Amino acid sequence: MSASSTAQPDRRSVQTAMWYLLYNVLLLLATPVILCLLLAKKRCRRGLPQRFGFTPPSILPDGRPLVWIHAVSLGEVVAVTPLVKELHRRHPDHRFAVSTVTETGREAVEQRLRGVAEHCYAPLDFPWVVSGMIDHLRPVLYLFVETELWPNLLRRLHRSGVPTVLVNGRLSSRSFARQQWEPVRSFYRSMIQTLTLCLMQSDRDAERIIALGADARAVKRIGNIKFDQPTPESTDSRSARSSLGLHDGEQLIVAGSTHPGEEEALVDAYRSVSERHPSTLLLLAPRHIERAEQVETMVRARGLSVRRRTAMTAVGSEAWSGPRVILLDSRGELAGLYREAVVAFVGGTLVPVGGHNLLEPALWGKPVLFGPYTDHCAEIAGLLLQAGGGLRVTGRELATQIERLLDRPDEGARIGSAARSVVEENRGALQATVDTVDELLQKISGRPRPMSAPDQQPLMAGR
């Protein structure tokens, strides 16, 4: 082997080490800002000691192998819940821990995975914090959802010989462009090359992660496991309508996972729609329910009657009539309430957020409206548009499109049926993901894992 061929890896190793040093220095300098942000956000305050390395006493080693799954918030927990349940069914001798960043994520884990997995908060990406968490949990496998790349965590798992699997992976255009920026490209490449498997949602996502440095042999185009979500549990339609104060003949417009700027456009559109269709109601579900007071004030300022879901009961609802807005300030209800909609809008799409779960209303066979910003759900948006199950709108077009669907119920039913067909025709990613992870767990179970191996290579060949 020539001197030049050995010099190149050495140069890359030095470059990678320098990037990690710079990253950690910047992380230390940013600590006061990080702490202030966590304290400022109510949904992030709980579990603060865990985030800084005080590991959860509820998850103590008991001799069983533990699988660690990281899901950032509510949407990721919902997506990964069927996967965790099936892995638990196949491996009853294993323990499962699901980490989240937000409070809504924690609540979703405790509600949806009770008796299946234990919850912990994700550690901040300081070297000593992630090392303490890994030493405490002692995972045999780490799964993470939708490209949550944390350099120190992935590096420490890699050095400890813990296989890491990216589940339901995606790379938005913004993220892909940022990671290709020449000054940091080698840093991202060093992270991605620690991954054992990359199970990607689409061909686009698979191509992008290979372009960023993943070994093509470790990349699989699996599909989107969100297509395999079960129908949400909910009360019967009559009870749901009664609890929302809906009278006979009234129709519900549901706008879910909305952000600032979208709520104003939706309320203005509803005011226009209600002039021709006074028997319609708008249910507005902000993505972050701690903004309920702010949204309520805005609705009242626009001259509409508004009530919060948590303050509503079926008793006395007859006194509340005419154009009005229901503000959904409860957790866990939105997916089920889409069933009562005549038309649904999914937020994060009129403003440059990237979009939220378009499949929740589609699952109920509802026509799905969304804005131009769908980078986080590009494949699903494209499938809905292609099948005629979704409508892309601007803020100015909201009222027109909603009125058209109200005026033409047969067209709304046709669009909703097409949306439902998109869900049915694209199922199967969950089974493929479970089988792939199950195969990896079988390999892990077949060989003892050393108690401490900071320099051990990951399990899969080629990593």
- pLDDT score recorded for residue 283: 98
Rounded Cα gap, residues 129 and 349, in angstroms: 36
Q: Whole-model pTM?
A: 0.82
Is the backbone of residue 388 left (phi > 0), alpha (psi -120 to 50) or beta?
Answer: left
At residue 449, the pLDDT reads 43
Beta-carbon contacts of 167 under 8 Å, excluding residues fewer than 6 positions away, are: 69, 80, 83, 143, 144, 145, 146, 199, 225, 433, 437
Q: How many residues does the chain have?
A: 463
pLDDT of residue 459: 34
pLDDT digits (tens, 9 = 90+) for 129-139: 999 999 989 99
Strand partners, 164: 142
Q: Can you give the pLDDT at residue 453?
A: 39
pLDDT recorded at residue 234? 66
Round to whole Å and give the CA distance between 229 and 427.
9
Other Cβ atoms within 10 Å of 410 Cβ, number: 7
- Integer CA distances (angstroms), 358 to 142, 364, 367, in order: 28, 11, 10
Q: Domains of the chain, with CATH numbers?
A: 41-223+429-445 (3.40.50.11720), 237-425 (3.40.50.2000)
Q: Collect the ranges in the chain with pLDDT lower than 50.
A: 1-5, 314-316, 447-463
Catalytic residue positions? 76
Q: Please tell me the predicted confidence (pLDDT) of residue 391.
A: 98
Please tell me what DSSP assigns to residue 456: B
Tell me the per-residue pLDDT of 315-352, one tens digit each, with 9 for 90 and over.
445 568 889 999 999 988 999 999 999 999 999 999 99
Classified as helix, coil or strand, 380 is helix
Cα–Cα dist 456/163, whole Å: 11
pLDDT, position 64: 92
3-state SS string over 291-315?
Answer: HHHHHHHHHHHCCCEEEEHHHCCCC
The single-letter DSSP state of residue 448 is P
| Gap between the Cα atoms of 267 and 327, Å rounded | 11
| pLDDT recorded at residue 142 | 97
How far CA 387 is from CA of 25, 384, 422, in Å, comes to 50, 5, 7
- Do 347 and 287 meet the contact criterion of CB atoms below 8 Å apart? yes
